[in-house]
Structure 1
Amino acid sequence: MNIKKAVPQDASKVLDLLQKLDGETKFMLFESGERKTTLTEQEKIIGEIDNVVIFCALDNEDFIGIVIGYRGKFKRKRHSLYIVIGVLKTFWGNGVGRSLIKVIEKWSVNNDCHRLELTVVTHNERAVRLYHKLGFLIEGVRQHSLLVDDCYFDEYYMSKLVAQSAT
């Protein structure tokens, strides 16, 4: 497995991966077929939007996992990076998620982000365990924050403070 920072030329593979993830698990925000991002829009997201960073995990040439960081746009929030992570089910339990989080954590340290934050469905025990192992703490519960198959689900709001690199 390799991890690379996405470039605009990866937009098609990134979109394909996100669409696969949307259809494969109910732990992602989008439902299957709901994502309407075009190839041109994805290219811009990767190449032109300065508060978004994307890293992809590859198995040979196949994109198998992704972590997206959304940095605060304004000065008072630029130190904070909201992350979204997804790994194809076939690769669960193989350290892909852990590796992606480690890479984005290293990126955040080198880019003056002091805080990582995320949300996770409370019953996604595998992910919650991983985030705890990597130093994330639960800050609170977002009650009934998702509606999946006509059922409401709660999410944990989790965060981790990271050290800054020496300047």
Structure 2
Amino acid sequence: MKINKRKYAVNGLTYIIRSATNEDARQLSEVRLQIDGETENMDRERGEAFIDAPGFEQMIEADTESRKNLFLVAEANHRIVGFSRCEGSPLRRFAHKVEFGVCVLKAYWGHGVGTNLLKESIAWADAHDVKKMTLQVLETNDKAVKLYEKFGFEREGLLKRDKVLSDGYYYNTIVMGRTVD
């Protein structure tokens, strides 16, 4: 699916949030690789499960054609600084829900990029009769957990010792969901 682009100005940064296009594929590949190396809050380490530009083009095309998926980018100064995806399932028993994920370059934290990607995704989900959004977040990512709770996500479960980080310790992952009637 696609959304209309929206302009934001937060803490001195002006950016737009819009649907991803094939022209974004190369930048998305580079940005994802960079983000994976900037934080341990992601599922991957830098370079793992690498997606090249053609891979992103395929994903963008599939998401654009699907009524169940949404792929958004945040762009500041003609550069992608973050992105998010809502991914639905073709299975009827899961047709009512989507899984949400978001990534923002560390240099752009504190400008509401992740918050506004989430807001746009929720607005899209509500407008398209999505009854449930789910996500997973590292238990130590307090800022993200509080943000999700602010937007109506509840803790639904805990995946114990789910990830091992660079310090060699295991960390829990919180499963969260937002439902609408």
The answer, yes or no, to whether TM exceeds 0.5 is yes
Contact 2:26 2:52 in 1 (8 A): no
Contact 1:46 1:52 in 2 (8 A): no
The residue number in structure 2 matching 1:158 is 176
TM-fit CA distance, 1:142: 0.7
Deviations 1:15-48 (A, max 9, x none): 1111111111100111011132222121011102
Unmatched 5+ residue regions in structure 2? 1-14
The residue number in structure 2 matching 1:28 is 42
Deviations 1:91-113 (A, max 9, x none): 21221111000111111122221
The correspondence for 1:45, drawn from 43, 59, 63, is 59
Number of positions where the alignment pairs a residue of Structure 1 with one of Structure 2? 163
C-alpha separation in 1, matches of 2:104 and 2:140: 17
The residue number in structure 2 matching 1:76 is 93
C-alpha separation in 1, matches of 2:97 and 2:90: 9
Let me know the Cα RMSD of the aligned residues: 1.4
C-alpha separation in 2, matches of 1:130 and 1:94: 13
Unmatched 5+ residue regions in structure 1? none
C-alpha separation in 1, matches of 2:180 and 2:153: 10
TM-score by length of 2: 0.85
TM-score by length of 1: 0.91
The residue number in structure 2 matching 1:125 is 142
Deviations 1:35-86 (A, max 9, x none): 3222212101110253542101111211111111111221111111101111
Q: Which moved more, 1:94-103 or 1:52-61?
A: 52-61
Counterpart code for 1:38: D
The correspondence for 2:126, drawn from 93, 96, 109, is 109
